[in-house]
Chains A and B, each alone.
Chain A
């Protein structure tokens, strides 16, 4: 443990504090909106990269807020994984925000400051979730992120408020279940500090109460992350949300919840208890995840709107990570954690691309995608790269996490999960190539002859730069992360318990 610094607190505080400042100043002048959203996020991004460097060179540390010693005080844990997650959250949020700004201006003229107040608090909440080492704080932060996202989604048009309401109901059920689990755990251990609880759990006899606590906590988180079949709220909520909010939700919300599941398993209930005391449950969850992947992929296939299709892909990807982690071997767990990062970046890429396309076509229903390779070549190139990553084509990053997941499945001899992963890859390929086809073949049903259509090629009409730049950057990141899988995996391995 190295000497604690306050850097991580600043990272967390920057968006939180500016959220309120923005709310006040934004009323005075809209010119404040852009600097006050990008500023703190850029600060957090740089800070979290520095923090990651520090953690990697000097090791992780735990920080007690207000100097109250654990297990009484509130503890924040900064280890390689949480530092990496901070980099991911702040980086993705910064990139998404660049593209979200023009969207908010377009969709919510006059109330940008309100939108971004919620938006920044949401980001701060996500960062807090990643850092906290206290089971109850986790609940509170979970609700902070949820409440802000309810608000953001309800700002959308048409059916969005209804979708938001459904999300409120489901989200509250999930949070309450988690809270119940923590309650049981508190009865058993008398503590709320994760490390403290984990130490006590190891000494406890196997009891129905512990199993109940675990079951409640897990189901609660599964609802929040939209693991099939608890996903009902997600497609509407994410596809009807304001475009700017969707850009943030899609890459981060489910992924951070999966991170929480991993934390709860690794640092709260201990993997020994979770994986090895109930082998049936362990393989049951993997099977459930496999079925979830297959069903969600099939549902995605039935969609006729690009963004809705992407939300179903998102649900399938949740199955990847949950199933992968529950494989309970080093490869599967590595794959699941790696996939958190990869999936966040590739989802961001696809949603950014969808937003860029929507900025020109207005709607994202498949009919409007025709001929896009001609009119928006750069956007479509980035979209293609993101799609390849979702399918799992090397050397994009999506391939490598899938590689680890598949290997974990082979090692655990979970053939159902293996088949589900491959099935989902194939379905993704079909789905995304359907889009390529629409965008590649022109709208005149292809009855033209060679040579005579170079003359009336439609003019290139790319999305505005603030939407294009983050998109291109993200697409390039897919390749960079893919080729940098080696170092990334080494960091992830540090977090996994020794015996895996």
Chain B
């Protein structure tokens, strides 16, 4: 694979970071500000997409910014795996931006300028993680993302937001400084480089015990991936406005955590090394705990967003599980699940937000009969739920199917069973919501005046829901990117 130096990756990362300036300057003119937001979102997606053809053709781009530490520059690199993630994130950002406008305006939220500026910074950091050429750069953007999302999580600025903000930072910053940073430094000390290299950089450099320690530090350090026991921040972060929860805690932040772990597994350790040490299997069993426990906890949640949050915790571990199986299908399924889950989960969150906008209802128990008043929203919710459960004809089926094959390939029958159980659990916590919404009698006192959410909210969630369906029929682009990433 040859990488050509290019400014496009830099532009793709920076566009929204620099975009915070016009957004903040047009503080007093909301229409102009929102135009900027949308313009930047579309521009970012186009920049990312413009690099797609040559990545599919086996090429790639690099850009080196600063040589800060000998052999470890701050550098960007566009490879298939990064491209895959950037494509998903930048496309869904457009949907979320449009949705944010509808949501924030309808609810007359305060400090919208800060909200949109932080959001733009967060997406910059997300794309930065996707396009990082080495661990240092990735850590840099990872931290920028943690910090730029703090004002979003604590947007409400009330006591609960403060509490959640504390929890959020304690988990995210604590683990990244306490575990990920030392892991990166130990890696640099023994390997002499931090570049993401296909096949890994650690093979033959250290004893199995030390490698195991590094792997543990990495998995624990990237707590954004929500692997238990470091998942507690995600349900807490649900106090944020729903577009934040949908994009950041359904797509960007959590996927950045998982993506970082995938990067470490594929490009720092290398599948061969992990396979020879049997650490992959251990890791996959470890995340199975998260999958099952998170699904069980989700069953008990009455707050819709919290149920979705626990569902996210479980689904994220699918991705780690698939990659940790270290079989071709497993890895394909795992990486593919980044996209499939993103489309599905963002739909669900957007629906939850639309329900809140239209009816101010947060709890599932209050949603009896609501589906008849908001058919489009709940229809989309249904599609999203099916995708997460993993049923055809929705995108989630493809990734889960590959995961199942991967488990078979790896001769891990227990994992196969766990996957199936978990799918049943997924169905168990999603389908009752649909049932209540469409078939349960509305409770007395429910005002029949509730209508669908405004169009700015409705269109994005339809787009993502339809996206989930489209991904089932046309997963080609993503599949090819994933294959390229794994075959490397």
> A: which residues have CB within 8 A of B?
388, 391-395, 400, 403-404, 406-407, 410-411, 418, 422, 425-426, 429, 433, 437, 440-442, 445-448, 450-451, 453-454, 482-486, 489
Contacts and interface: CB of A to CB of B under 8 A. Distances in A.
B162 A450 contact: no
B110 A454 contact: yes
A485 B107 contact: no
Contacts of B156: 446, 450
A407 B161 contact: no
A411 B147 contact: no
Contacts of A418: 182
Nearest to A446: B158
Interface stretch (B65-73, B226-234, B311-319): B65-73
Contacts of B69: 400, 403-404, 485-486, 489
Interface string B182-193: 100110110000
24 contacts: A393-B144, A393-B147, A394-B139, A394-B144, A400-B69, A403-B69, A410-B182, A410-B186, A411-B189, A418-B182, A422-B182, A429-B177, A433-B169, A440-B154, A442-B157, A445-B159, A446-B158, A446-B159, A448-B158, A450-B109, A451-B107, A451-B110, A483-B65, A485-B69
Interface in B110-168: 110-111, 136, 139-140, 143-144, 147, 151, 154, 156-159, 161-162, 165-166
Contact of B178 (A388, A426, A451): A426
A454 B186 CA distance: 48
Contacts of A411: 189
B99 to A, nearest CB: 17
Contacts of B68: 395, 400, 482-483, 485-486
Interface in B341-392: none
B201 interface: no
Given A446-B161, A450-B156, 11 more contacts: A400-B68, A410-B189, A426-B174, A429-B169, A433-B169, A446-B156, A450-B107, A453-B110, A454-B111, A486-B69, A486-B70
B207 to A, nearest CB: 14
Given A407-B188, A441-B162, A447-B158, A486 B177 contact: no
B181 interface: yes
Contacts of B143: 393-394
A431 to B, nearest CB: 12
Closest 7 CB pairs of A and B: A446-B158, A394-B140, A451-B108, A486-B67, A485-B68, A454-B110, A410-B189
Interface string B50-78: 00000000000000011111100010000
A410 B186 CA distance: 7
B162 A483 contact: no
B173 interface: yes
A482 B186 CA distance: 21
B215 to A, nearest CB: 17
B176 to A, nearest CB: 10
A406 B185 contact: yes
B71 to A, nearest CB: 11
B189 A407 contact: yes
A185 to B, nearest CB: 36
B178 A422 contact: yes
Contacts of B110: 450-451, 453-454
Interface residues on B, range: 35 or more
A407 B169 CA distance: 25
Contacts of A391: 173, 177
Nearest to A374: B111
Contact of B177 (A392, A445, A448, A485): A392
B181 A437 contact: no
Contacts of A406: 181-182, 185
B357 to A, nearest CB: 12
Contacts of B162: 437, 441, 446
Contacts of B154: 440-441
A392 B185 CA distance: 14
A170 B297 CA distance: 60
A451 to B, nearest CB: 4
A425 B151 CA distance: 21
Given A400-B69, A422-B178, A483-B66, A395 B157 contact: no
B385 to A, nearest CB: 28
Contacts of A486: 66-70
A282 B265 CA distance: 38
Given A392-B177, A441-B162, A486-B66, A446 B157 contact: yes
Contact of B151 (A388, A440, A451): A440
A437 B167 CA distance: 13
A368 B140 CA distance: 33
B131 to A, nearest CB: 16
A411 B156 CA distance: 45
A36 B173 CA distance: 46
Nearest to B188: A407
B166 A437 contact: yes
A403 B71 CA distance: 14
Given A406-B185, A448-B158, A437 B178 contact: no
Contacts of B169: 429, 433
A395 B185 contact: no
Nearest to A406: B185
Contacts of B189: 407, 410-411
A335 B174 CA distance: 23
A447 B160 CA distance: 10
Nearest to B110: A454
A437 B165 contact: yes
Contact of B159 (A429, A447, A489): A447
Contacts of A450: 107-110, 156
A394 B158 CA distance: 29
A78 B458 CA distance: 69
Contacts of B173: 391, 426, 429
Contacts of B185: 403, 406-407, 410
Nearest to B154: A440
Nearest to A451: B108
Contacts of A388: 147
Nearest to A488: B68
A478 to B, nearest CB: 14
Nearest to B141: A394
Nearest to A384: B147
Contacts of B186: 410
A451 B110 CA distance: 5
B109 A451 contact: yes
B181 A440 contact: no
Contacts of B67: 486
Interface string B267-298: 00000000000000000000000000000000
Nearest to A483: B66
Contact of A422 (B139, B157, B177): B177
Residue from the set B66, B68, B144, B157 with the largest chain A CB neighbour count within 10 Å = B68
A410 B210 CA distance: 13
Contacts of A489: 69-70
A395 B74 contact: yes
Contacts of A453: 110
Listed residue (B161, B174, B177) with the most chain A CB atoms within 10 angstroms of its CB = B177
A408 to B, nearest CB: 10
A489 B162 CA distance: 40
Contact of A440 (B65, B139, B157): B157
Contacts of B74: 395, 483
